[in-house]
Structure 1
Amino acid sequence: MTASAVSARDHLTAVHDEVVRRSPAQPEFHQAAREVLETLAPVLAARPELGEAALVERVCEPERQILFRVPWQDDTGRTHVNRGFRVEFNSALGPYKGGLRFHPSVNLGIVKFLGFEQIFKNALTGLGIGGGKGGSDFDPRGRSDAEVMRFCQSFMTELYRHIGQSTDVPAGDIGVGGREIGYLFGQYRRITNRWEAGVLTGKGVEWGGSAGRTEATGYGNVLFAAEMLRRRGEDLPGQQVLVSGSGNVAIYTVEKLGELGARALTVSDSGGYVVDEKGIDLGLLKQVKEVERGRVEDYAHRRGASASYVPGGSVWEVPADLALPSATQNELDAKDALALVRGGVKAVSEGANMPVTPAAVRILRDAGVAYGPGKAANAGGVAVSALEMRQNSARESWTKERVESELATVMRDIHDLCWHTADRYGAPGDYATGANIAGFERVAEAMRAQGLV
C-alpha cells in the first residue's frame, strides 16, 4: 500500500471515529458509514482533491435533521403521540429524495442510515436527486383506514413546511404504500392550497403518479441480478431464487423473476417463511398480502401440497442459485451466508436496504459469490420516482412500457458504472466498492464545485 493510500485510510478511520462520537447509540448509521468509508481510500489516494475541504466529513453529516411529535386519535378517541423524522442529508445533486418509513423500529439512527445510503443510491441513477429519508415509529399494521388517515394528516401538518418539489420530495417505504401517500398528499394540498404533484412520489396513476412505480424496486433488483449473472456468463431463465419478505419489494421481485423465466421458491415475514416447490403463486401471494393483509402462513395453508410453512428459522437455509433479500436491514448474517454458500448460491442482490451484514458480505466475497449492494441493486424504486417527478414537471403521463424501458436502461447503466469503477480502482468484480466510489465521486465533485456550503 502506498503512503498516500495509508494516509487516506487513516483519514477515513478518523472520520468514522468522529461519526460514532457525534452520533452515539446509532449503530445502523455507524455501520452504513463504515461500509462506505472503508472503500474510499483508493479514490482519495488517486484524487487527493476529493479529500480536501472536509468533503468526506461533510458527506457524513446531514444538512438538516428534523424531529417532531405526531399526535393523533384512534377510533376509540384515545390520543397517541408518535415521533416524526425527516433527515435531509445531501442536496448537492438535486432536491432531497427518499422515502418515509412507518414502523415501530424507526428512530433517528435508522433514518440517518437510510438517508446516508440514499445519497449514493440517488447519485448512481444520474437523475439529479439528492439524498434524504424520513418516517415515524407509528405502526400502521392493524389500524383502520380512518386511523391511518388521521395519523398521516397530523404527520403532514408538520412535514409540509419542510418539503416541496424543488426542495425535498418524499416517497413511500416500509409501512407507507399508496394508501398512506394518498392521505399525505391530500393533507399537503389542503394546507398549501396548491396542486404540487411533484412534492410526493408513489402517487396513484390517476392523480399524478407514474405507471410502474409500485413495481420498480423489485423489478430493478431482478434486472441488476440478471446483469451480474451475465457478467459471469450465465442467464437468469431457469435459476432457482430465494426471496425474503412479502411486502411490495418481494412481491414484485417474484413477479419479475417469473416474467424473465426464473422461479422464486420462497417468501417470508416476521413469523416464518414459505417454501413452494412449484414456485411462488403470484396471484395467491398478492391476494393474501395486498388484499387481505394476511401472513405468509395463510399462503401456505391455501396453496396446497407444494408449499410448506416453516415458523421462525431462516429462508436462507433453502438451496438455490440466487438470493434476493427484500425484507429489512441486517436480515442476512454470517450464519446465513455460510448456509447460502453450502446451498450453491451464485449471487446475492439486495432488494432491501443493507440487509446483508458486513460479516456475511465478507463470507460471500471469499466464496466467490457475486454481491450486489442495495445502493445499486435496489435503486430502481428511486429511479422511477425521479421519472415520476419528470412527468409531473412536464404534466405528462408515460406508458408502463416506456417507464420499464427507462428503468431497464438505468439499472444496466448503474451495473456497468459500478463494474467499471471497481475495475478502475483495482477491485475488479467488487460491486460494493464500485458503487461507493462512483456515488461518492459524483457527490463530492458537485460539492467541491459549489463551494463551502
Structure 2
Amino acid sequence: MTTPIVNAKSEAQRYVDSVFNELKEKYAHQNEFLQAVEEIFISLVPVFEQRPEYIKHNVLSRIVEPDRTISFRVTWQDDQNRVHVNRGYRVQFSNVVGPYKGGLRFHPTVNKSIMKFLAFEQIFKNSLTGLPIGGAKGGADFDPKGKSNSEIMRFCQAFMTELYRYIGPDVDVPAGDIGVGAREVGYLYGQYKRIRGAHEAGVLTGKQPGYGGSLARKEATGYGLVYFVEEMLQDAKMSFLDKTVVVSGSGNVAIYAMEKATHFGAKVVACSDSNGYIYDPEGIDLKVIKEIKEVNGDRISTYVNYRPNAAYTEGCTGIWTIPCDIALPCATQNEIDGESARTLIANGVKVVAEGANMPSDLEAINEFLNNGVLFGPAKAANAGGVATSALEMAQNSSRIYWAFDQVDLKLHEIMKSIYAQCKQAAEDYGYAGNLVVGANIAGFVKVADGLLKEGVY
C-alpha cells in the first residue's frame, strides 16, 4: 500500500515507529500478528498528526496489547477411547465498544499468533459495523476433518468446559469460524447450558435457526462481501453485470458470495478448496457446489464428475492465474502474494475484495493500490458475518426472530454504511479511494476515542 506522505521526523511518525519496534522485539515470533499490526500502523500516522492527544495518552500501546489472552488444555477421548490433548485459546482484545465478540476456529494451524492477529483485526471490523461489540477471537489446534460426530461433540464439550468461565452474553460472545459451524456451536452451547444451568442464548452466535440462531447468518459474510463490492463498483460507474468472477474457497463465505454475485448478473468461473481448484468457463453450477460441500462433504475435485467440461487442478495458488474482472479471496490468510497480485493485474482484474481474513499480504496490497485496482480490505468487506452475529444477539435479547428478508435488509444497510465510513475517512485524511487507509482509520478512531473517554485502566 502507498505509505501516507508525512514528515518522516514528525512526532507522529516517531511515535508509531517506536510502538511498532517495541512490539517486534516483544513478539518477534508472532508473524501473523505483527503483519496485521503493521498493515494498520502504516495508515495511522496522519491520524496522530491531527490528533496529538492520542500520543499523549499512549493510545497505540494500549490498543495493541490484548486485555487478556487465555490459553488452556483440552483433553478428550476418541471413539476408540484414546486420549488426545489439544491447546485452546481465547484472546479478549478490546471491549471498549461492547462485549468481546469474535469467532472460534478449530484448525491444526491455530496458534497464539494467529489468534492475536484475528482478534486484533476483529476490534476494528466490529467497530466499523456501528454495533456495540468489541473484539476477540479463539479456537484450538483441533482438526475436525475425519472425526466422527461423537468425537466432535466430545471435543466441543471438553473445550467449553474450559472456556465457559470466561464468557457470557454481556462479557464475551463467541461465534463460529473455520471448522466451527452450527453443529459445533450447538454442541458448545449444550455444554455451556449444562454447566451454567441456565438458558443464555446470547452467549454464542451462529446457532441453528429455531434454536436461538438468526436466519441469513450462514449467508451473511458472503452476501455482505458482495454488497460491499457493489458499492465499490457503483462509485466506479460499474456493476456486477456480465463481469467474470474468481472466488477462492468453497465454504460458506465463498458459496454465498458466488450466489449473490451470480444474482447480480456476474459469471463465477472458479472456486477452490485446500487441495486444488476448479475452472468452469461456462460458469460455476452453484447447485452442484452446494451438493458437493454442504450435502456430501466431498472435495471440490468431484465437481468434474457433474460438469465434464470443467477442469480441476491440484494446488490452490494457480486459481489466481485465471483471468477475471473481480477476484474474491475467501479461503485463508496470505493466499495472494505479490506474484499472484501481479498476475491478476496483468490479466485485467478491476476489483479485489477480501472475504477471508488477511488473504492478501502487504506486497500484494501495494501492487493492487499502486496499479489502480479497486481493493476492499477484509476488516470492512467481510464484516457482514459479525454484523449478523450482532443482529442475532439483538434477537436473543428481545426473545424474537426476524424474517430472512428483514435480516438481509439490515445486513445490506450495514455494509453500505461500512463502505461510506471507509470512503469518508480516506477522503478526510487525504487518501481518497484508498479503502485500506479508510477502514483502518474509521475503525481505529472510534475505539481510540472510547479509550480516552474511559480513562486509564
Q: TM-score interval w.r.t. the shorter chain? A: over 0.9
Q: Contact conserved, 2:7 with 2:13, CA < 8 A, in 1?
A: no
Residue of structure 2 aligned with 1:308, choices 305, 311, 315: 311
Q: Which residue of 2 aligns with 1:402?
A: 406
Q: What is the CA-CA distance between 1:5 and the residue it aligns to?
A: 7.5
Residue of structure 2 aligned with 1:445, choices 449, 453, 456: 449
Q: Contact conserved, 1:347 with 1:371, CA < 8 A, in 2?
A: yes
Aligned residue runs from structure 1 range 377-416, under 5 A: 377-416=381-420
Q: Which residue of 2 aligns with 1:215?
A: 219
Aligned residue runs from structure 1 range 123-134, under 5 A: 123-134=127-138
Q: Which residue of 2 aligns with 1:360?
A: 364
Q: Contact conserved, 2:351 with 2:374, CA < 8 A, in 1?
A: yes
**AA partner of residue 244 (structure 2):** Q
Q: Which residue of 2 aligns with 1:177?
A: 181
Name the SS for the 1:419 alignment partner. helix
Q: Contact conserved, 1:321 with 1:345, CA < 8 A, in 2?
A: yes
Q: What is the CA-CA distance between 1:6 and the residue it aligns to?
A: 2.3
Q: Which residue of 2 aligns with 1:77?
A: 81
Aligned residue runs from structure 1 range 411-426, under 5 A: 411-426=415-430
Distance 1:211 1:271 in 2: 31
Distance 1:304 1:394 in 2: 50
Q: Alpha-carbon deviations, 1:77-97, whole Å to 9, x = none? A: 111000000000000000000
RMSD: 1.0
Distance 2:14 2:35 in 1: 18
1:261 aligns with 2:243: no
Distance 2:253 2:21 in 1: 34
1:374 aligns with 2:345: no
1:280 aligns with 2:304: no
Q: Alpha-carbon deviations, 1:212-244, whole Å to 9, x = none? A: 001100110011111111111101121110100
Q: Which residue of 2 aligns with 1:46?
A: 50
Distance 1:110 1:268 in 2: 22
1:324 aligns with 2:328: yes
Name the SS for the 1:205 alignment partner. coil
Q: What is the CA-CA distance between 1:4 and the residue it aligns to?
A: 9.1
Q: Percent identity?
A: 52
Distance 2:117 2:6 in 1: 31
Q: Alpha-carbon deviations, 1:96-138, whole Å to 9, x = none? A: 0000000000000000000000000000001010000000000
Q: Once structures 1 and 2 are overlaid, which stretch shifts more, 417-426 or 276-285?
A: 276-285
Name the SS for the 1:411 alignment partner. helix
| CA separation of 1:202 and 1:451: change in aligned 2, threshold 3 A | same
Q: Contact conserved, 2:224 with 2:385, CA < 8 A, in 1?
A: yes
**AA partner of residue 296 (structure 1):** I
Distance 2:9 2:92 in 1: 31
Name the SS for the 1:71 alignment partner. strand
Q: Once structures 1 and 2 are overlaid, which stretch shifts more, 112-121 or 237-246?
A: 237-246
Name the SS for the 2:356 alignment partner. coil
Q: Which residue of 1 aligns with 2:40?
A: 36
1:154 aligns with 2:184: no
1:297 aligns with 2:312: no
Unpaired runs of at least 5, structure 1: none
Distance 1:122 1:23 in 2: 25
Q: What is the CA-CA distance between 1:301 and the residue it aligns to?
A: 2.5
Distance 1:349 1:3 in 2: 31
Distance 2:9 2:232 in 1: 29
Q: Alpha-carbon deviations, 1:13-58, whole Å to 9, x = none? A: 1111111222231100000000001110101101111222211111
Q: What is the CA-CA distance between 1:2 and the residue it aligns to?
A: 5.6
Q: Which residue of 2 aligns with 1:88?
A: 92
Name the SS for the 1:195 alignment partner. coil
**AA partner of residue 264 (structure 1):** V
Distance 2:360 2:10 in 1: 28
Name the SS for the 2:278 alignment partner. strand
Q: What is the CA-CA distance between 1:302 and the residue it aligns to?
A: 2.1
TM-score, structure 1 normalization: 0.98
Unpaired runs of at least 5, structure 2: none
Name the SS for the 1:100 alignment partner. strand
Distance 2:288 2:28 in 1: 44
Distance 2:113 2:8 in 1: 32
Residue of structure 2 aligned with 1:240, choices 218, 240, 244: 244
